[in-house]
Amino acid sequence: MSTSSSIQHDAVDIAFQAKDGRRLANDKNIAYILPSDELEVDRLKLNHEMWKLYKSKIHEQLEKGIRVLDIGCGPGWWTLDMARLYPNSQFVGIDMADVFQTSDVPSNVTFQICNASTGLKFENESFSFVFQRFLVMGFPVDQYLQSVDEMKRVLKPGGAIEIIELVNDYKNAGPAFTKIGRGSMDSFIADKISGFLNKAGFVDIQDINYDVPIGAWGGEAGEMFLAIQKMALPAVKVMVTELTSITSVEYDETVEQAFKEADTHRVSTRFRQIYGRKP
């Protein structure tokens, strides 16, 4: 294990600004509304712990050794876990912000600062597995379509693609969670991704719909996702109050009421995990 990772910088610097104590992207090419700071690193760690590493049928290839790209990797939790599990493979994690974990990093990991919304700075057919998750807060539909095309471009023939996204659709929602759901960019991009992959020419597409509880009523998973929501909803406050007519006080009151609704209404939300193969 090395003590620090190799971090490469994209040719274009990405501007950030401080708002209400959070670090937010300040770039016309970036639609991502969540912060990029240490509080967000903590939330992403919890998010990572909720999910298994992958569903794609590429275990044998990973053991032999392939090149893997993690788009929007954040601190790099998935990249690091995969690199330790598959030391013969090479892993590249890219994100717009330098929040990468840099201690006890395997030598088969490289992190790169890169704005994926403007394209991937890699050669055609240079990866055998491309992984992307939790970017619905960063890609409008047109950019998501571009992202799928770019993932196909950098994948080798027969290579695997895998995407995990939140559907901002609250089941059994009370008034507060209903209001929060309506304030999202496109709450249902995740429901469209398998169609995006099909249109782009991917084959063997599998689409899994997960219903995830929010709150103690849902056991360990519900408690964990409630903890994630308690970090995520305050994190988007700055952008929601800036882009809508909702005031700061109104937003805080809505979020507080939503957390109460979680158990009384037995609220849940959905995730989609989609994977396929480039022919």
Residue 165, sorted as left (phi over 0), alpha (psi -120 to 50) or beta, turns out to be: beta
Mean pLDDT by 10 residues, the chain (279 residues): 51 55 52 54 79 95 98 94 98 90 93 89 97 83 91 98 92 91 71 96 97 96 92 79 82 94 96 97
pLDDT at 136: 77
Superfamily covering domain 6-166+186-209+271-277: Vaccinia Virus protein VP39 (3.40.50.150)
User: Angle at Cα 78 formed by Cα 77 and Cα 80, nearest 5°?
Assistant: 65
**pTM metric for this prediction:** 0.85
Alpha helices in the chain (DSSP H): 38-50, 59-64, 77-85, 141-154, 175-182, 189-200, 219-235, 237-243, 248-264
pLDDT of 1 reads 41
Given this model, what pLDDT does residue 153 score? 98
**CA–CA distance, 64 with 87 (Å, rounded to integer):** 9
Map tokens 């782009």 to a residue.
200
**127-133 and 155-171 as β-strands: parallel, antiparallel, unpaired?**
parallel
Backbone torsion region of residue 164, taken as left when φ is above 0, otherwise alpha when ψ lies between -120 and 50, otherwise beta: beta
| Structure confidence at residue 159 (pLDDT) | 98
